[in-house]
Amino acid sequence: MEITVTKTTCPKEKPDSSTLGFGKIFTDHMFMMDYAADKGWYDARIVPFANLSLHPASTVLHYGAEIFEGLKAYRRADGKVQLFRPMENIRRLNNSAERLCLPTIPEEDAFQVLTEFVAMEQDWTPSAPGTSLYLRPFLFGNDESLGVHGVHNATFVIIASPVGSYYKEGINPVRIMIEDEDVRAVRGGTGYAKCGGNYAASTRAGERAAQQGYSQVLWLDGVERKYIEEVGAMNVMFKIGDEIVTPMLSGSILPGITRKSCIEVLKKEGYTVSERLLSVDELAKAMEDGTLLEAWGCGTAAVVSPIGELCYKGKRYAVNNGEIGAVTQHLYDTLTGIQWGKLEDTFGWTCPID
């Protein structure tokens, strides 16, 4: 795929990497390409970072035809920059596109444009501990018509943002409220797709939890409000006795790449990992009888986020005395060790950028 490059004439100053938040600062350039049903993808280009111009009737603005991805470029100790399992993000992007009737991108083209864009912006990858260059590919429908139908015109964009930790708590345990009113997604809906609408629909519960001093909510299934699904915008795992339990991918759960990586690390090390239904009653019982030993969320932004307290129907339960547990810490150390190139990557997950 031919990519034209237009360089910015006014490069920005790079931020001090010790003061980075999440997703507030953007690099000098962005990648864009357009799609038309009769042409396929065309006009692949890297251009100076700028506002987008959209027709007011664009599909994305009315019917939410938008999907996105999130992955990071990491600065290794030897100065090189690397990605973590980028093909997984590309495959998930296409699965999301298929669900929302948006055009898919041939995997090898998506990989080429992503890696060429990262190569161009790699100087923006910060080097302070815990920092990285967050990449946000997104794809939206922009037919200039108010009719509700499959998309004929679309745009794919990649922007990049140097980031620090996602949660202000960093790797410190967070307080989580079990949400038994709103649901994030339903089977048959879009829960397994990374589409903007899922996040819009989940904001209310998150805001309500925040008002009561909680960092996020633990989502229950949309049919019975009985089975645990995810935590905030992360997958969730529990250590109950000797078993590591994570909700099975039922269609309403996003198949997280961090989740998959945690499972692969734990299985390789001989842990018993179950992907199964976990009811909130079983979890409550484990909290009551002391067999819930650890709980954590996992996702690209925070890597691993320990849960120190769970609140269910007004009752508060401390998890591991509100401290990070040994398995949670081990997963954090292993994944971040591989991502930042401090540990040998025996899984073949990393992808260096030239």
Residues making contact with ligand PLP (CB under 6 A) = 70, 230, 233-235, 254, 256-259, 299-300
Residue among 241 and 251 whose Cβ is closer to ligand PLP: 251
Site for ligand COI in 216-245 (CB under 6 A): 233-234
With CB under 6 A as the rule, give the number of residues binding ligand COI: 7
For position 300 contacting ligand COI by CB under 6 A, the verdict is yes
Q: Closer to ligand COI at the Cβ: 193 or 301?
A: 301
- Residue 39 CB partners (closer than 8 Å, separation 6+): none
Nearer to ligand PLP, 299 or 341 (CB): 299
Contact partner at residue 96 from ligand PLP, ligand COI, none, CB < 5 to 8 Å by partner kind: none
Rank residues 46 and 110 by Cβ distance to ligand PLP and give the closer one. 110
Q: How far is CA 283 from CA 2, 22, 301, 334, in A?
A: 52, 32, 26, 27
Least distance in Å: CB of 307 to ligand PLP?
15
Q: Write down the least CB distance from residue 193 to ligand PLP, Å.
A: 10
Provide, rounded to whole angstroms, the least separation between the CB of residue 68 and ligand COI: 8
Residue 219 Cβ vs ligand COI, minimum distance, rounded to whole Å: 13
Residue span binding ligand COI (CB under 6 A) among the ranges 38-46, 106-114, 154-162, 295-303:
295-303
- To the nearest whole angstrom, how small is the minimum distance from the Cβ of residue 260 to ligand COI? 13
Nearest approach, Cβ of residue 203 and ligand PLP (Å): 12
The set of residues, in sequence order, having a beta carbon less than 8 Å from that of 208 and lying 6+ positions away, is: none
Closer residue to ligand COI in complex, CB, 297/341: 297
Question: Token pair for residue 190?
Answer: 């879009």
Our finding on whether 70 is near ligand COI (CB under 6 A) is yes
Q: Which does 294 bind (CB under 5 to 8 A by kind): ligand PLP, ligand COI, none?
A: none
Residue 254 interacts with, from ligand COI, ligand PLP, none (CB under 5-8 Å by kind): ligand PLP
Separation of alpha carbons 304 and 331, rounded Å: 7
Q: Does 86 bind ligand COI (CB under 6 A)?
A: no
* Least separation in angstroms between CB 230 and ligand PLP: 5
- Asked if 301 interacts with ligand COI (CB under 6 A), we say yes
The nearest distance, CB 222 to ligand PLP, in angstroms, is: 14
Please report, as ranges, the residues that interact with ligand COI according to CB under 6 A: 70, 233-234, 299-302
